[in-house]
Amino acid sequence: MSKLVVTSIGPASSVQDGGRPGSQRYGLTPSGAMDRLSLAAANTLVGNEPFAAVVEIGPFGATFAARGGAVRIGLAGASRNADIGGRPVAFDSSATLAEGETLNLGFARGGSFSYLAIEHGIEGEPMFGSLAVNARAGLGSPYPRPLQSGDELKTKAASGATERRIELPAASDAPIRILFGPQDDEFTAENRKLFLDNEWKISATSDRMGYRLEGAVIKHRDGHNIVSDGTVNGSIQVPGNGQPIVLMPDRGTSGGYPKIATVITADLGRFAQTSAGRPVHFKAVTMAEAQAEAIKFHTLLHSLPDRLRGIDDLGLNIEALRDANVAGQAVSAVDVTTWQVALP
């Protein structure tokens, strides 16, 4: 029996998986990873099912030690400085801690949550089919609360498999796409436009229940109390002060504020990774576009094993570089057939 011992960890770090849908009619929120693509990528790196339980690590640093045997891990999500006993480890790749070695993770860069998958998964007692922590409902396993220093995550000994990296689509800073509704008619056209035109900032008080947006004041047509109705991940509700709240996986299953719009499924993880203080813009899309994107996202989640590469196969990820704004010029300066940099 191997285990990964948490030797230091910041707040907002917990065991999460694909969540526990199915009991929202009883007020039980699904919980689960904030960024499902990174969850699935971390798991895929170590051969787990895509939505198996992992450690979701908040913005601060963390350290983990392997005890009782070697532990193989996969890292994805917000990148950080990472090393195992001084050996640098890249994100979007797997690595193995020998017995006694420590994994050191720095602060999150360019995101909020990182995902640490453990080969063979984390041992625990599923509650409603999930190990995901929902502290308010006393759910989660092996601990029904955020992780603390000293906690132990039990697993089977590392397989010794060859390490892998995974080639993911490039990060995007395009506007977050939304569908108006279900209560967009509680707002005038002018206020709906203001919602799209305004540059929003994620409040530092945001958490796994909801992200508060700071910026313009969105006014309601006739007051802010509606009769409570159901919520989804990505519901954008507007309380009395006019500052929207985007509901996240630990949301209440019902809410009594009008919901102007909903973040599309394909953009939820990208939105969740937006750090406090960073600007956010929203863009409205049609139902047909949103559903086409949801299907593309589903296909991506289930095709991740095809994106595994050898750890030393560091060929340029042209797709990623071309999509990344920062690398745009550099890539366009490279001849894609000869790999020669076109000199100015």
Partner 1 sequence: MAEPLSPPRLLPSGDSAITVEFSRTIDDAANRRVLALDRVIAAEPIAGIIETVPTYRSLLVHYDPVQITFDALGEQLLARAAKAPPTETGTRRWRIPITYGGEHGIDLEDVAKALQTTPDDIVARHAGGDYRVAMIGFTPGWSYLSGLDKFLHMSRRKEPRLVTPAGTISIGGIQTGVQCLAGPSGWHLLGRTPVRTYQLHRDPTFLLEPGDAVTFTAVDAKTFAEQDRAAEAGEFVAELVTP
- CB-count burial class (<10 Å; 0-12, 13-18, 19+) for 189: exposed
The footprint of partner 1 on residues 106-135 (CB under 8 A) is 127
Q: Measured between alpha carbons, how far is 6 from 21 in angstroms, rounded to an integer?
A: 28
Q: Which residue has the tokens 């745009």?
A: 328
In the complex with partner 1, which residue's Cβ is closer, 42 or 260? 260
240 binds partner 1 (CB under 8 A): no
Interface pick for partner 1 out of 172, 228, 241, 303 (rule CB under 8 A): 228
In the complex with partner 1, which residue's Cβ is closer, 222 or 312? 222
**Tokens read off for 26:** 């009883």
In the complex with partner 1, which residue's Cβ is closer, 136 or 219? 136
Interface pick for partner 1 out of 7, 8, 23, 203 (rule CB under 8 A): 23
Give the closest residue to 279 by CA, choosing from 203, 330, 181, 219.
203
What does the DSSP 8-state code read for residue 243? -
Interface pick for partner 1 out of 16, 43, 130, 265 (rule CB under 8 A): 265
182 binds partner 1 (CB under 8 A): yes
Interface pick for partner 1 out of 295, 314, 326, 341 (rule CB under 8 A): 295
Parallel, antiparallel, or unpaired: how do β-strands 254-255 and 279-280 relate? unpaired
**Tokens read off for 191:** 């206020």
215 binds partner 1 (CB under 8 A): no
**Tokens read off for 10:** 């910041």
Distance of closest approach, residue 37 Cβ to partner 1, in angstroms: 16
- Per DSSP, the residues of 44-57 read HHTT--TT--EEEE
For binding to partner 1 (CB under 8 A), which residues are involved? 21-28, 127, 136-139, 179-183, 226-235, 252-255, 259, 262-265, 287, 290-291, 293-295, 298
